[in-house]
Amino acid sequence: MNLKNSALLIVDVQNDFLPEGSLAVRHGDEIIPVINALQEKFNFIVATQDFHPTDHGSFAVNHEGKSPGEMIVLADLPQILWPVHCVQGSEGAEFHEELNPIRWTAIFQKGKNPEVDSYSGFFDNARREDTGLGDFLQNEGIMNVFVTGLAQDYCVKFTALDSVSLGFKTYLISDATKAVNLAKDDGDKALEEMKKAGVILIESSAILD
């Protein structure tokens, strides 16, 4: 595969989303060697980092009597409540130590505004604020975006959908992502949604072999 004008996008490969983290994605650690191998093939690599203040509105503990998994309204949108995760300055917000940060051109942080959640690396969930990632990629002449990371049914999905909507040819590397699966087929549904929107599903072997 020709990787000219291509970026590898690594979404939220942070301790809290990995086994033993507070919002653990089962088998999430299995994608790390795949991403490390993929990194050797790309000249242009960008990571995103979920980076919440302690008073973030997506945390169940910040809503009296509520538990993770319950729904509320946040920024006029339905919002699922999460355990405390990826708090700014905490170990859980750090990238996994086995993930090699070689050639990372930039890290885009998201979820810093307590009033709104931000699954996508490009915009908050209400699409009121832009992280700058889209303009950054465009200014660098990037046309193809290869998405990897966690979680397939949340931040990876919304990042890939926004990438398509901004006009990037967008690939999801299916063995370099894993789903949280709050409901057991959420990951599969997310794949269908991405495919329908124009995301191209590939396996890492298409790039590595």
Site for ligand VGL, rule CB under 6 A? 12, 17, 50, 82, 119, 150-151, 154-155
- With contacts defined by CB under 5 A, name the span among 13-21, 42-50, 95-103, 137-145 that binds Zn ion: 42-50
CB of 141 to ligand VGL, least distance (A): 27
Residue 124 touches Zn ion, criterion: CB under 5 A: no
> Going along 25-180, which residue ranges are E strands?
45-50, 71-74, 77-80, 104-110, 144-150, 169-178
Please give the C-alpha separations between residue 17 and each of 21, 86, 169, in angstroms, as whole numbers: 6, 8, 27
Indicate if 86 belongs to the active site: no
Cβ–Cβ < 8 Å for 155, 190: no
7: closest CA among 55, 54, 43? 43
Closer residue to ligand VGL (CB): 42 or 158: 158
Nearer to Zn ion, 38 or 74 (CB): 74
Q: Shortest approach of ligand VGL to residue 192 CB, angstroms?
A: 18
Number of Cβ within a 10 Å radius of residue 63: 15
Two structure tokens written together for 97: 């130590």
Smallest gap from residue 41 Cβ to Zn ion (A):
29
- SS3 assignment, position 28: helix
Residue placing its CB nearer to Zn ion in the complex, 28 or 111: 111
Tokens of 153: 């049914």
- 55 has catalytic annotation: no
| 178 in active site | no
**Catalytic: which of 16, 50, 86, 110?**
110
Among 29, 50, 124, 153, binds Zn ion (CB under 5 A): 50
Location of structure tokens 């465009």: 138
Of 1 and 182, the one with the shorter C-beta distance to ligand VGL is 182
Cα 178–chain centre separation: 11
**Binding residues vs Zn ion (CB under 5 A):** 50, 111
Catalytic residues: 12, 110, 155
